[in-house]
A and B are shown apart, each in its own frame.
Chain A
Amino acid sequence: MIYKNTYITILFLIFCFGIKVPAQNNSKLELRKAYDLLYEDPQKAISLANVIIRKTKNHDEIVTGYVIIINGYSALNQSDNALSSAFKALDMVQDEKDQISKIRILGLIGEQFQLCHFNDESRFYLDQAQIIIEKLKISPDQKSIYSGNIDAIKGNSYKDDLDCNFAIEYYNKSIKSYASIKNNTSATNNLCLVYIEKADCLIEQSRLDSASIYIAKAQKIADRFSLKGYKLSAQYAEAKILSRNKKYAESTVLLVDILNNLEKLEDLHFRQDIEELLVNNYFNLNDYAKYQIYSNDLKKSRKMIESMHSRSNEESLKFILKNNKKPRFPSYFFVGFAAFCLLLLVFSIAKIKWNLKGNYFYK
């Protein structure tokens, strides 16, 4: 059973939407610093980005600052704050008519709603981003990376809805987009993540051999670029396959190894998935003592995640309802009303003047 993880999405969106960080002047250097801090100290990255937003007047730098803040809150599992910043940024880019930034922010909003498991809402924003991508005249590489990102998140949303057939369709689209880009590290990193997600779906469909192929591909990229987080995710998928093949002991060794390496990363969802698989393995191995340990850990993780979700869900709903279009009077009504008022005013003034000049009703 899967009640799906989003264990790689946090890293995913950093790579997906945070690629525009040039390093030239002072504030750009600071942005680069904040961007690098996202992995180690998200809170510090958020503070730094906030300072940059206050200081700079450059539109691109402000948008990148917001992207860092959104990713930072996302890394801290504070979806409500992430969404709040994302909608602020969206308001800003809508005013500026900056289409590229709009795609980035819409993608991030879609990602945030996906993390809250509001998948319908997530797809609504991702579809909007997709429409802009199709209309916009940008380089094929840029188009591919943005489309790849949107399709990958859509894939995640369908996987979360337990619709792996649909999810695989989107993962395939995403893979096709990323694979078409040559010599781009971000695209290759994202490709690695989509391989893992697709493999996870294939495992759920019991297509274990196909899943192994994608895991191997992902591991190759992770090794080449020393992507520790991705490597652990690929290992987890491998452990899952071993468990499905009833090789519980081997799967357990792999999982314990991941857990030992995961301590620094503090990813609750990933931890929960590992604990769940360990509980399953120890249950099948009839190891009561170990089962008890991980069963208790799993309960704790579930408790933490549920309380985290209930807090963020409520806030996210607030954003969904807030963004429903409110009823407005059409513009022609205001034009008509204004014209009427103006005429009334002119007429009143004319009448007063006429009374004063010639028409003495009183003597």
Chain B
Amino acid sequence: MPKGGYLNLLIHGFRMDFRINFISKFFGLFFCFFFFQNFNSQTKEEKLNIQREAQRLFRTDVKKSIKLYEYLLENSDGQELQKYEIGMVKLKLLNSENIEAIDLMFQLEQELLAIKNPDLHNQFHQLESEVFYYFGFKKVSDSIHKLSDSDSKKENKNNTNYLFNIPAELKVNPSSEKVSSRMIDAEPIERKLNQNIGLFTKAKYLAQLRQYYGSKNNQLQYMLYDKQLLDLQGLHLHQLKISRNYLVSKFSKLKQQRIEKVQNRIKKWSFGLSIIFIGMIGLVLYYPKNDKETIKKKSQVISDKAELRILEKLKDFENSEKFLDDSITITILAKHLDTNVKYLSTVLNNQKQKSFNLYINELRIQYITERLKNDKKFRSYKISYLATVCGFTSHSSFTSFFKSIVGITASAYINKLNQEDDL
């Protein structure tokens, strides 16, 4: 029986087991990580080698090159996949699979819309520009080319020359280029012709054979290969024509789809904004009513006692001539009456049916008319002085208020008083 009993043993045993378990798991994870890293670098290297091999075969055996790229595509995902897809578009064009290349290019465009990778975007713009150039749309190509940054433009210019030049043998205007290189023996080339080769390679071989038999003065053989080359050129021109139609149609549709997306977004925004406009219009139209109603509601909130108290204090204020102070505001008056602005405003609106400004200015005009009536000395003062005496800071506001309350101007009122006295 161990010291501490079975329980102790159990705990010790568990701890021991936990340590072993932890160590084994830690090392296991470490080895897994190491293996994965190693495996990852191995696959990366393998893929790089395959890509190099595929690029080496671009010109000589495009079909094999496509198969290698297919392997790369199958074993890649994410942005790596898109990088290989860009290469695949070029290869398909080299193998005269124009429609497939165009489809892949536009599919790629859709995929790239969701990714924020400037490098990949540049590569794609470069590819799109090259494709349009290849099909003879130089202006569109130029406008797309402007979208990619200057570094990738320089970098890819070489690729353009390498990948997308239609072989001189198929061109309808090969004047500036040498049609084909020297050839020693026709037999191996004739054997290659029977193999599964791309259109561009076939054109090269046919041109070599034509040149060979031309140099040997073998008219029949020369004619045979010339005719085959003419037919191939015709086929190539026809493929170009069909592909141009397809490219233009697809490009136009995608552009229209993009426009429609923008249109839908605009519609949603317009709808939202229109609702906001309508809401604001409603608010503006509803506001005055609402304001009156709130005042009424608020007036109900003030108790009768409080209202009476404010009214009493207002009476005192009216008798005190404090309204002659030109710095008085509703806040100052409310403070003076031991109430708040809202209460004071409500009482003035309900009991006097006046705004604060009207209330104060009426008191002032009332004061000055009384003084003019009772004190003749006042009648000889200038209007601006009278305005200052009764608390107006502006001469013009005094005269217009005087007229609106009394019905005549201040000077006319003075004249009238003088006339009455003379009588």
Chain A interface residues toward B at CB < 8 A: 1, 3, 117-121, 160-162, 276, 279-280, 283, 286, 288, 291, 295, 298-299, 302-303, 306-307, 309-310, 313-314, 317-318, 320-321, 324-330, 332-333, 336-337, 339-340, 343-344, 347, 358-363
Q: List 30 A-B contacts (CB under 8 A).
A: A1-B234, A1-B235, A3-B237, A117-B241, A117-B245, A118-B244, A118-B245, A119-B245, A160-B241, A161-B245, A280-B227, A291-B227, A295-B230, A307-B173, A309-B241, A313-B244, A320-B252, A321-B255, A327-B266, A328-B263, A330-B267, A332-B270, A333-B273, A336-B278, A337-B274, A340-B281, A347-B284, A363-B357, A363-B361, A363-B391
A207 shortest CB reach to chain B, Å: 22
**Cross-chain contact B234 with A276 (CB below 8 angstroms):** yes
CB nearest neighbor in A for B257: A324
CB nearest neighbor in B for A360: B357
One of B136, B284, B361 near A314 (C-beta < 8 A): B136
**Cross-chain contact A279 with B227 (CB below 8 angstroms):** yes
One of B139, B222, B274 near A318 (C-beta < 8 A): B139
User: Which residues in B have their C-beta under 8 angstroms from that of A118?
Assistant: 244-245, 248-249
Known: A3-B241, A161-B242. A286 touches B277 (CB 8 A): no
Choose, from B119-127, B335-343, B393-401, the stretch at the interface.
B393-401
User: Which residues in A have their C-beta under 8 angstroms from that of B46?
Assistant: none
Chain B interface residues toward A at CB < 8 A: 136-140, 172-173, 219-220, 222-223, 226-227, 230-231, 233-235, 237-238, 241-242, 244-246, 248-249, 251-252, 255-256, 259, 262-263, 266-267, 270-271, 273-274, 277-278, 280-281, 284-285, 326, 355, 357-358, 361, 391-394, 397-398, 401
User: Which residues in B have their C-beta under 8 angstroms from that of A360?
Assistant: 357-358, 361, 397, 401
**Cross-chain contact A121 with B270 (CB below 8 angstroms):** no
Q: In the complex the two chains form, what is the Cα distance from A279 to B226 in whole Å?
A: 10
Known: A295-B230, A336-B273, A363-B394. A329 touches B355 (CB 8 A): no
Q: In the complex the two chains form, what is the Cα distance from A337 to B263 in whole Å?
A: 18
**Cross-chain contact A298 with B284 (CB below 8 angstroms):** no
User: Which residues in B have their C-beta under 8 angstroms from that of A298?
Assistant: 230
Looking at A117, A298, A326, A359, the one whose CB has the most chain B CB atoms below 10 A away is: A117
User: Which residues in A have their C-beta under 8 angstroms from that of B139?
Assistant: 314, 318
Known: A118-B245, A303-B172, A363-B391. A324 touches B278 (CB 8 A): no
User: Which residues in B have their C-beta under 8 angstroms from that of A295?
Assistant: 226-227, 230
**Cross-chain contact A324 with B137 (CB below 8 angstroms):** no
B422 shortest CB reach to chain A, Å: 33
User: Which residues in B have their C-beta under 8 angstroms from that of A317?
Assistant: 137, 140, 248
**Cross-chain contact A302 with B270 (CB below 8 angstroms):** no
Q: In the complex the two chains form, what is the Cα distance from A360 to B391 in whole Å?
A: 14
**Cross-chain contact B238 with A1 (CB below 8 angstroms):** yes
- Given A336-B273, A361-B357, A363-B392, 10 further pairs, Cβ under 8 A: A117-B242, A120-B249, A121-B245, A313-B136, A330-B270, A332-B270, A333-B274, A336-B274, A360-B361, A363-B357
One of A309, A313, A359 near B357 (C-beta < 8 A): A359
User: Which residues in B have their C-beta under 8 angstroms from that of A306?
Assistant: 172-173, 237
Ranked 9 nearest A-B pairs via Cβ:
A3-B238, A333-B270, A120-B249, A336-B274, A336-B277, A340-B277, A310-B136, A288-B219, A327-B263
CB nearest neighbor in B for A337: B277
Q: In the complex the two chains form, what is the Cα distance from A279 to B223 in whole Å?
A: 10
**Cross-chain contact A325 with B273 (CB below 8 angstroms):** no
User: Which residues in B have their C-beta under 8 angstroms from that of A332?
Assistant: 270, 274
**Cross-chain contact B231 with A1 (CB below 8 angstroms):** yes
**Cross-chain contact B237 with A302 (CB below 8 angstroms):** yes
Q: In the complex the two chains form, what is the Cα distance from A120 to B136 in whole Å?
A: 18
User: Which residues in B have their C-beta under 8 angstroms from that of A321?
Assistant: 251-252, 255
CB nearest neighbor in A for B273: A333
User: Which residues in A have their C-beta under 8 angstroms from that of B138?
Assistant: 314
**Cross-chain contact A363 with B237 (CB below 8 angstroms):** no
User: Which residues in A have their C-beta under 8 angstroms from that of B274?
Assistant: 332-333, 336-337
**Cross-chain contact B262 with A288 (CB below 8 angstroms):** no
Q: In the complex the two chains form, what is the Cα distance from A299 to B175 in whole Å?
A: 12
Q: In the complex the two chains form, what is the Cα distance from A318 to B219 in whole Å?
A: 47
User: Which residues in A have their C-beta under 8 angstroms from that of B172?
Assistant: 299, 302-303, 306-307
Q: In the complex the two chains form, what is the Cα distance from A351 to B259 in whole Å?
A: 43
CB nearest neighbor in A for B278: A336
B48 shortest CB reach to chain A, Å: 39
**Cross-chain contact A363 with B281 (CB below 8 angstroms):** no
B391 shortest CB reach to chain A, Å: 7
**Cross-chain contact A286 with B220 (CB below 8 angstroms):** yes
**Cross-chain contact B244 with A363 (CB below 8 angstroms):** no
B385 shortest CB reach to chain A, Å: 15
Known: A3-B238, A313-B136, A362-B397. A121 touches B252 (CB 8 A): yes
CB nearest neighbor in B for A341: B277
Q: In the complex the two chains form, what is the Cα distance from A314 to B394 in whole Å?
A: 75
CB nearest neighbor in B for A315: B139
B45 shortest CB reach to chain A, Å: 44
Q: In the complex the two chains form, what is the Cα distance from A286 to B221 in whole Å?
A: 10
User: Which residues in A have their C-beta under 8 angstroms from that of B281?
Assistant: 339-340, 343
User: Which residues in B have their C-beta under 8 angstroms from that of A302?
Assistant: 172, 233-234, 237
A342 shortest CB reach to chain B, Å: 9
User: Which residues in A have their C-beta under 8 angstroms from that of B392?
Assistant: 363
User: Which residues in B have their C-beta under 8 angstroms from that of A307?
Assistant: 172-173
User: Which residues in A have their C-beta under 8 angstroms from that of B326?
Assistant: 363
User: Which residues in A have their C-beta under 8 angstroms from that of B219?
Assistant: 288
**Cross-chain contact A326 with B259 (CB below 8 angstroms):** yes
User: Which residues in A have their C-beta under 8 angstroms from that of B391?
Assistant: 363
User: Which residues in B have their C-beta under 8 angstroms from that of A359?
Assistant: 355, 357
B237 shortest CB reach to chain A, Å: 6
**Cross-chain contact A358 with B358 (CB below 8 angstroms):** yes
Q: In the complex the two chains form, what is the Cα distance from A332 to B393 in whole Å?
A: 51
CB nearest neighbor in A for B220: A286
B78 shortest CB reach to chain A, Å: 32
**Cross-chain contact A324 with B259 (CB below 8 angstroms):** yes
CB nearest neighbor in A for B266: A327
CB nearest neighbor in A for B281: A343
B136 shortest CB reach to chain A, Å: 4
Known: A303-B172, A363-B394. A327 touches B280 (CB 8 A): no
